[in-house]
Amino acid sequence: MNREQWNDYVAHAPKPANRHQWQDAQTERLRAKFIEDTDIVDGALRWKSNGSVIQPHTFGDAQLIPPQVQIDASDAYQDRILAEYRANTPQLSAEDRAEMHRELGPDVVDAITGQKI
């Protein structure tokens, strides 16, 4: 999607019925952010503030359905971020590890890498 297509999609997206006024206001604020605070890179929306791909669930918060290119970009972005984390997982000091085991027990697992700490 290019910028014009995206803005048109957001402007003409249906608004759900039977919602509270504050919900409508929140939806409109997020939709405005999607237009004003984003860049389009390879057809997918990214936040201008940090360059990250906007996750599909955020579209739901704006009562929008993400295009497939957004879902694909999000999956690729998450895969890259997780791979970088796994490759650069910091080593805990013996003191940090002991404190973690004291607070959480002996079977502490890094939820992202799946490795036992």
- Those residues of the chain that have pLDDT short of 70 are none
Cβ atoms of 89 and 110 closer than 8 Å: yes
Sign of the C-alpha dihedral, residues 28, 32, 37, 41?
Answer: positive
| Per-residue model confidence as pLDDT tens digits over 54-83 | 999 999 989 999 999 999 999 999 999 989
Domain positions in the chain are 3-104
